[in-house]
Structure 1
Amino acid sequence: MSGDHGPDQTRGGGHSHGHGHGHGHALSADADRRYLLGALALILGYMAVEVVAGVVANSIALISDAAHMLTDASAIALALIAMRIAARPAKGAYTFGYKRAEILSAQINGVTLLLLVAYFVYEGVRRLLEPPEVHGPIVVVTAVAGIAVNALAAWLLSRANRRSLNVEGAFQHVLNDMYAFIATAVAGLVVWLTGFRQADTIAALVVAALMLKAGWGLLRDSGRVLLQAAPSDLDPDEIGRVLAADADVEEIHDLHVWTVTSGYPTLSAHVIVARGSDCHRVRTRLADLLHERFAIGHTTLQVDHGIPGLDRHCEDPHGPRHSDPLRSPYGDP
């Protein structure tokens, strides 16, 4: 929906604002990769230690934490792979490039967390009914060390670009694991001091609850992107009303707002302007407005002269029509 229609200039082209996709962006991506690699090394190293400690202590809480750390490592590895894939240039059929690779990565992370939740809830309930012997001191020492390791890994990931659902997914994995270690340390202390063995299982169920929250959040947010919903912080109806309030605009329809990938909101719309209006000037003005007020830098605006309801420009216009009720006899639907 772009380009001129000839000398009458009845249709305006797409207009985009740059977002620093050059040298600065490359440096930022390199820094993000370094932070993720550092966190990955920490997680993998301590995960091996925790598996051994969990087996020796016979602690389901430690083993569940180790499994959570495995998902942490997988999340970070997926994030690194997705970042590399997403950096490939657009070509051929992939006109947006591979930017949604990170959204698929977030989906995989979310599904993995929910599958682990199912396992640990099952195992936790079984152990509540038949609590095994648990070595509290080993659990406490291992969990306290795990808190420190995850805090450092979370700090590294927090320095990367968390606007990316991909990086945010890895960060949430690690942050939830740190909370899980706190619960495990408390449980180990209770077992050690009181002999209440079910505390270890209760900690594992707390871990499962945290994993459920993080996993559902990732699936929800990445699902919105895959279903091409408008970003949660943007209201298409409000955008339509703001655009329609322009003095030269008669009507806005076929308004679509979606996200290509994290931090990449995109908009397209069909704009009907009053006869005699300068289509190019209107398009530029609306594109600047969208960028400044709504932070949408990637816009495609099809601009035509016409009278709403009389001049047909679309065989099947999608969504509601937006017009200024003070100037239009039609008003908003």
Structure 2
Amino acid sequence: METTPTQIQTPSAAGRHKKNLLIVLCLSGTYLIAEVIGGIVTNSLALLADAAHMLTDVVGLLLAFIAIKIGERKAEPSRTYGYYRTEILAAVINAVVLLGISLYVLFEAYQRFQNPPEVQSKSMLIVAGIGLIVNIAGMMILRKDSEGSLNMKGAYFEVLSDMLTSVGVMIAGIIMLTTGWYYADSLISAAIGLLIFPRTWRLLKEAVNVLLEGTPKDVDIYVLRKSLEKIPGVKNIHDLHVWSLTSGVNAMSAHVVKEVGTSQNQLLKILTEETVNTFKISHTTFQIEDEGYEENESHL
């Protein structure tokens, strides 16, 4: 048989980009302090909403980084797949917290809309402008990394959401500075909350799919089955399962009925090469069977 689970040391997609994550964490943490002070001084809900999202950024980025470090720990007898799933748990926590913060911002915007307070628009605009620069820098650092990891995607969405809030805060600041219409602060805050929902919901769905051991979206299980059944010596494939340990680390298991006279070791080598090279599945488990063995199966 091939490599056993306790020997898996495949680096996760997020683990390959933890340095960039740490850089963005430091940038976001520094700006968070400045933004909280600015929001209190200017009395701007939009700026405080941005600060709230920045807080979830910092916490989320920290969770993501910790999850990567934990995920790098070696497998042990009590956890034969290691700690890969901590990255997915971090992505779920990020999404849930961000959704909760968005709901709070919507509620607070409604409250303030009843009696909009005066806001120091010029100072608010300056703070938001600095935030925009910080968030754009963070997005540029994480954008490519987010393509292969839910954990990094969660971190990227955190920074993206804050970039949107910074733009919204600047728009509100310009409106209030030029017209004195303080309702803009509450309206922009509500718009920020609504904009964040769709992307965060998609992230949550993807992370939950991993936790439920659903088929990875980058693997077409029907194409995989047909490809394996075309290999010389394979009579048919059954009991095929594909799942993700974490983003970028897929695993599979399958029962293979071989044709009479086929070398088991040679067939196993070809099956493994096909799944690893063509479908980028890191860990494979094949049970080679003679025809008729299926009657001993618990499910097909």
Alignment partner of 1:14 is 2:12: no
C-alpha contact 1:15 1:301 (8 A) present in aligned 2? no
* Partner in structure 2 of residue 317 of structure 1: 299
C-alpha contact 1:35 1:159 (8 A) present in aligned 2? no
Alignment partner of 1:42 is 2:27: yes
* Partner in structure 1 of residue 278 of structure 2: 293
- Sequence identity of aligned pairs in percent? 35
Task: Name the amino acid aligned to 1:195.
Answer: G
Task: Name the amino acid aligned to 1:59.
Answer: S
Q: Distance in 2 between matches of 1:188 and 1:314?
A: 71
Alignment partner of 1:272 is 2:257: yes
Alignment partner of 1:51 is 2:39: no
* Partner in structure 2 of residue 79 of structure 1: 64
C-alpha contact 2:72 2:84 (8 A) present in aligned 1? yes
For residue 46 of structure 1, give the secondary structure of its aligned residue in structure 2: helix
Q: Distance in 2 between matches of 1:311 and 1:156?
A: 53
For residue 260 of structure 1, give the secondary structure of its aligned residue in structure 2: strand
C-alpha contact 2:85 2:246 (8 A) present in aligned 1? yes
* Partner in structure 2 of residue 221 of structure 1: 206
C-alpha contact 1:58 1:133 (8 A) present in aligned 2? yes
1:106 Cα offset (Å):
0.7
C-alpha contact 2:128 2:167 (8 A) present in aligned 1? yes
1:15 Cα offset (Å):
6.0
For residue 252 of structure 2, give the secondary structure of its aligned residue in structure 1: strand
Q: Distance in 2 between matches of 1:124 and 1:54?
A: 15
* Partner in structure 1 of residue 167 of structure 2: 182
User: Which shifted more, 91-100 or 42-51?
Assistant: 42-51
Change (3 A) 1:149 1:282: same
1:40 Cα offset (Å):
1.8
Task: Name the amino acid aligned to 2:79.
Answer: Y
1:227 Cα offset (Å):
0.2
Q: Unaligned stretches of 5+ in structure 1?
A: 1-12, 319-333
* Partner in structure 2 of residue 206 of structure 1: 191
C-alpha contact 1:267 1:298 (8 A) present in aligned 2? yes
Alignment partner of 1:131 is 2:131: no
1:162 Cα offset (Å):
5.1
How large is the Cα RMSD of the aligned pairs?
A: 2.3
C-alpha contact 1:187 1:200 (8 A) present in aligned 2? yes
1:179 Cα offset (Å):
1.7
Computing the radius of gyration over CA atoms, which structure comes out larger, 1 or 2?
1
Residues 96-131 of structure 1 deviation map (CA, whole Å, 9 limit, x = unaligned): 111111111111101100111111111112222322
TM-score, length basis structure 2: 0.91
For residue 192 of structure 1, give the secondary structure of its aligned residue in structure 2: helix
C-alpha contact 1:169 1:218 (8 A) present in aligned 2? yes
* Partner in structure 2 of residue 255 of structure 1: 240
* Partner in structure 2 of residue 64 of structure 1: 49
Give the alignment partner of residue 245 of structure 1, picking from 220, 226, 230: 230
Alignment partner of 1:148 is 2:136: no
Q: Distance in 1 between matches of 2:222 and 2:147?
A: 28
Q: Distance in 1 between matches of 2:43 and 2:148?
A: 39
Aligned residues between the structures: 296
Q: Distance in 1 between matches of 2:266 and 2:104?
A: 60
1:154 Cα offset (Å):
2.4
Change (3 A) 1:21 1:89: closer
Residues 85-106 of structure 1 deviation map (CA, whole Å, 9 limit, x = unaligned): 1111101210011111111111
C-alpha contact 1:47 1:70 (8 A) present in aligned 2? yes
TM-score, length basis structure 1: 0.82
Q: Distance in 2 between matches of 1:251 and 1:75?
A: 45
Task: Name the amino acid aligned to 1:102.
Answer: E
Q: Distance in 2 between matches of 1:170 and 1:161?
A: 8
Task: Name the amino acid aligned to 1:315.
Answer: E
Alignment partner of 1:171 is 2:153: no
Q: Distance in 2 between matches of 1:112 and 1:228?
A: 23
Q: Distance in 1 between matches of 2:155 and 2:202?
A: 12
For residue 144 of structure 1, give the secondary structure of its aligned residue in structure 2: helix
Task: Name the amino acid aligned to 1:223.
Answer: V
Task: Name the amino acid aligned to 1:125.
Answer: Y
